[in-house]
Amino acid sequence: MKPSVYKYDQLEVHGVSSAGTGTCLTVPRLKMAIDTAQGWPFVYPMNHLFLTHAHIDHAGGVAYIVSQRGLMGLRDLKIYMLPELQKPIRKILNTWQELEGFDYSYEIVPVESGDRVKIDEYHYVQPFQTVHRVPSQGYALFQQKKKLKAEFHGKNSHQLADLRRQGVALEDVWYEPQFGYTGDTDIRFMDHCDPEILKTQSLFVDCTYWDDKKSIEHAMEWGHIHLDQLIERAGEFLGERLVLTHASRRYKKSDLEEILSRSIPLQFRSHFIHFP
Ligand SMILES: [Zn+2]
């Protein structure tokens, strides 16, 4: 399985996404993945694995990934998930470990909305609330931003270096959401999540149903989003890109592109991207 590649600004995401078949997204530069699909090789090198929920098309590959990493001698895997998923996921991993007859190397870390997981000096991941048929949450990657404080504008590089040596904090530092993925959810995640999430530069969202082959009511019943719901609330997304994932297999790629060009109002057209 060769992953699709999404690039925007400094972000590069590799992944696959198809409703009911398999979804996983990785940020290779940071060795992080969200969901596992069936456990494809491009996920093995990721050390931070976040699970949105335990439907098999999203989390079914977890044992495969842990096992393959073991055979490859890869260590330091952390698997992040809602607290209520710890016990059943550990049970699955223990069962496979016993059947395979070698020790798996991984750590399960329970996380929920409001927590922050440090990825490196410049990035953290924050879980956020979503609404699905089973316990679920999305994840957003925040990136550090820095700017020289206004009071130091006009100083030359020697003066700044002197101040830095004296231990003066020269820059304002803050974090902005660069990449996020909702996992499976219905549209109400927009009302439940931290409002910062709606500012994510590239927000990957569940968009399972795209036209009148399936109604909004059907989407709500199955805990998914219909494209019409995203269009109706497009003005509430304050990021730059809304990346539509998890399309139902009933649509061909060409259908999806055609629906996008036909249905998205002109002012939002460059914001909506389909990710296969
Ligand atoms: Zn699901």
Give the pLDDT mean for 64-90: 96
Mean pLDDT of all residues in the chain?
93
Structure token pair of residue 44: 């093995």
Structure token pair of residue 5: 């590649």
CB contact set of 209 (below 8 Å; sequence gap of 6+): 215, 218, 219, 224, 225, 226, 227, 248
Could you tell me the distance, in angstroms and rounded to a whole number, from the CA of residue 73 to the centre of ligand 1? 31
Give the model's pLDDT for residue 263. Answer: 86
pLDDT over 80 (residue 20): no
Give the model's pLDDT for residue 83. Answer: 98
pLDDT over 90 (residue 1): no
Tell me which residue of 20, 47, 48, 22 sits closest to 36, measured CA to CA. 22
Could you tell me the distance, in angstroms and rounded to a whole number, from the CA of residue 159 to the centre of ligand 1? 56
Write out the residue range of the structural domain in which residue 212 sits.
4-274
Could you tell me the distance, in angstroms and rounded to a whole number, from the CA of residue 266 to the centre of ligand 1? 31
Could you tell me the distance, in angstroms and rounded to a whole number, from the CA of residue 139 to the centre of ligand 1? 15
| Cβ atoms 23, 61 nearer than 8 A | no
Could you tell me the distance, in angstroms and rounded to a whole number, from the CA of residue 132 to the centre of ligand 1? 7
Model pTM score: 0.92
d(CA 124, CA 175): 9
* Total domains present in the chain: 1
Give the model's pLDDT for residue 256. Answer: 87
pLDDT over 90 (residue 109): yes
Give the model's pLDDT for residue 2. Answer: 87
Amino acid sitting at position 202: S
d(CA 162, CA 34): 43
Give the pLDDT mean for 32-55: 96
Could you tell me the distance, in angstroms and rounded to a whole number, from the CA of residue 86 to the centre of ligand 1? 17
CB count within 10 Å of CB 8 equals: 15
Give the model's pLDDT for residue 254. Answer: 84
Could you tell me the distance, in angstroms and rounded to a whole number, from the CA of residue 222 to the centre of ligand 1? 8
Give the model's pLDDT for residue 267. Answer: 85
Could you tell me the distance, in angstroms and rounded to a whole number, from the CA of residue 223 to the centre of ligand 1? 8
Could you tell me the distance, in angstroms and rounded to a whole number, from the CA of residue 250 to the centre of ligand 1? 17
Could you tell me the distance, in angstroms and rounded to a whole number, from the CA of residue 219 to the centre of ligand 1? 12
Give the pLDDT mean for 242-252: 87
Could you tell me the distance, in angstroms and rounded to a whole number, from the CA of residue 264 to the centre of ligand 1? 26
Q: Specify the CATH number for the domain of residue 134.
A: 3.60.15.10
Q: How confident is the model at residue 205 (pLDDT cuts 50, 70, 90)?
A: very high
pLDDT over 90 (residue 198): yes
Could you tell me the distance, in angstroms and rounded to a whole number, from the CA of residue 46 to the centre of ligand 1? 22
Tell me which residue of 58, 80, 61, 73 sits closest to 104, measured CA to CA. 73
Give the pLDDT mean for 125-146: 96
pLDDT over 80 (residue 44): yes
Could you tell me the distance, in angstroms and rounded to a whole number, from the CA of residue 53 to the centre of ligand 1? 7
Could you tell me the distance, in angstroms and rounded to a whole number, from the CA of residue 184 to the centre of ligand 1? 5
Could you tell me the distance, in angstroms and rounded to a whole number, from the CA of residue 52 to the centre of ligand 1? 9
Give the pLDDT mean for 96-101: 96
